[in-house]
């Protein structure tokens, strides 16, 4: 049993997985400057970088067709790299790119599940900046609960079946930084719990 972790940034959730002694086989970062790469290397975990910018090269943003093709190849090549490493499970721990069917389909065919950490409750604030959006809704009195979930990854972003859901109360007298710090604390618990659950499901 082993997991492959996808990251894009600081890697504090990767660090939670490392500290919990989960069987991490490899870490792939979408960014060559992600601090999470240093965390993995310090823990003796092999790493690699798979950068979308490398596939885009000098293509201008107006070259929509060529960029779409490049992004599909990025996803296909990522699936090849991942499947060559034969993980039991892929964990998106702050992976900040939407995964295309050219990645999802080969993994589904190989029965390799993918899970993701998302800092919101099921059905709320899909996509990026979910922490800020939840906090703002709380400040406006529109929402009393934020949260964190670990969910299976499907093509529809952040709509896969939840594995772990943890609610967090939204407080009017709390700054964004204070709320964010609480969310991160819960994330680090949820990602270990969710990864253990998904690993168990993958082996049964
Ligand atoms: N097909 C799926 N891909 C991903 C999922 C998913 O559920 N299905 N979860 C995400 C993680 N994530 C939220 O939890 C997320 C990350 C990034 C984005 C996004 O819009 N990315 C943009 C780039 C954003 C930017 O850099 O400013 C993009 O990919 O073009 C949405 C959701 C992981 N992938
Ligand atoms: N939609 C996904 C998303 O927004 N994920 C966010 O990326 C961060 C990664 O932090 P890390 O690199 O320190 O683990 C996490 O805090 C999580 O909220």
- Domain of residue 194: give its range: 3-203
Tens digits of residue pLDDT in 96-143: 999 999 999 999 999 999 999 999 999 999 999 999 999 999 999 999
Pairwise CA distance, residues 117 & 107, whole Å: 18
Task: Give the CATH number, domain containing residue 36.
Answer: 3.40.50.170
Q: Which ligand is nearest to the CA of 78?
A: 1
Q: Ligand 1 within 6 A of 9 CB?
A: no
Which atom of ligand 1 sits closest to the CA of residue 155? Answer: 1
151 carries an active-site annotation:
no
Q: Ligand 1 within 6 A of 43 CB?
A: no
Tens digits of residue pLDDT in 163-172: 999 999 999 9
Q: Ligand 1 within 6 A of 116 CB?
A: yes
Question: What is the whole-number distance in angstroms between the Cα of residue 52 and the centre of ligand 1?
Answer: 13
Q: What is the reported pTM?
A: 0.97
ipTM of the complex, rounded to two decimals = 0.97
Pairwise CA distance, residues 68 & 97, whole Å: 14
Q: What is the DSSP string of 112-128?
A: -EEEEEESS-TTSS-SS
Q: Which helix (H) or strand (E) holds 164?
A: strand 162-169
| pLDDT of 68 | 97
Q: Ligand 2 within 6 A of 160 CB?
A: no
Q: Domain tally for the chain?
A: 1
Tens digits of residue pLDDT in 30-72: 999 999 999 999 999 999 999 999 999 999 999 999 999 999 9
**What DSSP designation does 99 have?**
P
Q: Which of 160, 146, 36, 28 is CA-nearest to residue 97? A: 28
Pairwise CA distance, residues 202 & 204, whole Å: 6
């Amino acid at each position: 049993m082993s997991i492959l972790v996808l990251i894009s940034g600081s890697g504090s959730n990767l660090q939670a997985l490392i500290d919990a002694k989960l069987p991490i086989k490899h870490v792939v970062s979408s960014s060559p400057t992600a601090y999470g790469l240093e965390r993995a290397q310090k823990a003796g975990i092999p790493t690699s970088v798979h950068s979308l910018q490398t596939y885009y090269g000098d293509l201008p943003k107006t070259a929509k067709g060529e960029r779409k093709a490049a992004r599909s190849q990025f996803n296909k090549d990522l699936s090849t790299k991942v499947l060559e490493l034969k993980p039991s499970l892929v964990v998106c721990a702050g992976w900040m790119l939407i995964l295309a069917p050219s990645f999802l389909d080969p993994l589904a065919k190989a029965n390799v599940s993918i899970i993701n950490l998302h800092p919101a409750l099921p059905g709320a604030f899909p996509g990026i900046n979910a922490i800020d959006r939840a906090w703002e809704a709380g400040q406006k009195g529109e929402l009393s609960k934020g949260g964190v979930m670990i969910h299976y990854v499907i093509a529809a972003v952040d709509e896969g079946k939840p594995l772990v859901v943890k609610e967090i109360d939204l407080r009017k007298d709390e700054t964004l930084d204070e709320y964010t710090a609480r969310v991160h604390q819960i994330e680090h618990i949820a990602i270990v719990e969710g990864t253990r659950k998904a690993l168990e499901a993958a082996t049964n």
